[in-house]
Structure 1
């Protein structure tokens, strides 16, 4: 929320200028700049791609249950042409809509549809080497731990949708985060985690993910703030935040990352090209 705080400080500075309170206006302007400028982009990454390494295109979409528009989702998939697709809020209706679609490009599917907001699915161009369903922090919402191959290297992919940190779910969200951090800490190199994390990088959990050696693909190879939510409703008029991520562990990097167009969901899709990093 650093960017939003910076904008609030900018508004305060404007009001102070109007009130001719010059000293406080200068302080507010400096505070505004210190908050807004770093949030406009990401620090440069020194995690470079290994020369000649093959790549995978990874995409993640939160469908907002049955709110996302089928035609817009299909068009986003055709345009992006991912090698790996992670879907959150995957309902039985979406399972029916996507049955038989993209069977040539994404034939290998792990689907856990639900009638609530916590169905999940992962599609792949290549066969999964291993599939594990798991839960985090005692929550019954299914998450996926998958293994696949990238440039002759076995890579782990976590497909995730964490609970939102609302008042009634805050404790459960924190328990999920703690469990996820423990799991990520036990993994070796070559791990990705993609989905709707319901948290931003500047939270304590986001900082801990980075401390474990994970980088957001958008921070490595994207441009701009990369905000993904909210797209719909009254909050769409305020600057958004990035709560959807594709985190890349040690040994993996990205050569391109971007935020997709509106699919009708309250989240924007994200995608990146992933490759092995230079040792």
Structure 2
């Protein structure tokens, strides 16, 4: 009976101990770990259940390992549930309201999206999975009337994207890897500030063969810079969470995740209405020279992603 207790307890504790080691090691193996790491917040909870099991079964060594595992995983995820105070900084240079939405191969309800734009009044809208047909329907629904400036790169399938804006835009060369076009454009804000906006959408991690495309799409995103260039905002479907190493490396260049800053880092953005546990793979990353005033996640009919919205304060 004692042997079965050990097998049961160690079977519950060991996988999450390995998870914790990989998560903090700075090394990210390939499939299937890369998509699995998105569920680290859930792993932290289950690791805590393993600790309770080990304690109840009086398996002291396993309980110590489970306690260390729980502490390590909790320390990586708990900060996203608490605001860090950056949203309190004053906006001497005005504000920038940013909305991003994945259209699910152009199938999102165009009327619902235009209604969301009218309600949230974004200065910038970053769209992903924009098809030629969706572009036509959005224009007919009045999107260009609300946001008259646009850089659009529609494409059949999931690879198109766009940046719409209330203020003038200057197009830059799109980032394209694996057939996914990530539009870049620089917005001239009425305050005089230039803000480079990228509609982020590397290919998804559904299959092992797509991993190089996913990695190259994320690595091609611009760093926040050293403070001498334009302000930068990356907004859209990253197909990655804050637990992915490539996102953490991007943040280390000088970005802040708007959800994390405001304490909404656990709010799932995908899948909307799906059976899988929700994860936060849609983000607004703001240059750390800007502060974050607000963040929210909103429903949208016809897509499996929930749009993300952030209010940023310009320096």
So what's the TM-score if we normalise by structure 2?
A: 0.75
Cα offset, 1:19, TM superposition: 4.4
Unaligned runs of 5+ in 1: none
**The 10-residue stretch of structure 1 (253-262 or 9-18) with the greater mean CA deviation from structure 2:** 9-18
Does residue 140 of the first structure (1) align with residue 192 of the second (2)? Answer: no
Does residue 213 of the first structure (1) align with residue 254 of the second (2)? Answer: yes
- Partners of 2:108 and 2:50 in 1: CA distance: 37
Cα offset, 1:144, TM superposition: 1.6
- Partners of 1:175 and 1:132 in 2: CA distance: 19
Which of 99, 121, 125 aligns to 1:59? It is: 99
Which of 221, 233, 236 aligns to 2:274? It is: 233
Q: CA 1:3 to 1:85, structure 2 compared with 1: closer, same or farther past 3 Å?
A: same
Report what 2:212 is aligned to: 171
- Partners of 1:67 and 1:98 in 2: CA distance: 11
Cα offset, 1:216, TM superposition: 0.8
Q: In 2, are the aligned partners of 1:88 and 1:118 still within 8 Å (CA)?
A: yes
Cα offset, 1:226, TM superposition: 2.7
SS in 1 for 2:216: helix
Report what 2:47 is aligned to: 9
Which of 88, 102, 108 aligns to 2:149? It is: 108
Does residue 273 of the first structure (1) align with residue 314 of the second (2)? Answer: no
- Partners of 1:168 and 1:208 in 2: CA distance: 23
- Partners of 1:222 and 1:6 in 2: CA distance: 18
Does residue 90 of the first structure (1) align with residue 130 of the second (2)? Answer: yes
Q: CA 1:70 to 1:18, structure 2 compared with 1: closer, same or farther past 3 Å?
A: farther
SS in 2 for 1:234: coil
Cα offset, 1:169, TM superposition: 0.8
Report what 1:72 is aligned to: 112
Report what 2:196 is aligned to: 156
Q: How many residues align?
A: 271
Which structure has the bigger radius of gyration? 2
Q: CA 1:224 to 1:244, structure 2 compared with 1: closer, same or farther past 3 Å?
A: closer
- Partners of 1:234 and 1:22 in 2: CA distance: 37
Unaligned runs of 5+ in 2: 1-38
Cα offset, 1:117, TM superposition: 0.4
- Partners of 1:234 and 1:26 in 2: CA distance: 34
So what's the TM-score if we normalise by structure 1?
A: 0.84
Cα offset, 1:179, TM superposition: 2.5
- Partners of 2:126 and 2:154 in 1: CA distance: 13
Cα offset, 1:36, TM superposition: 4.0
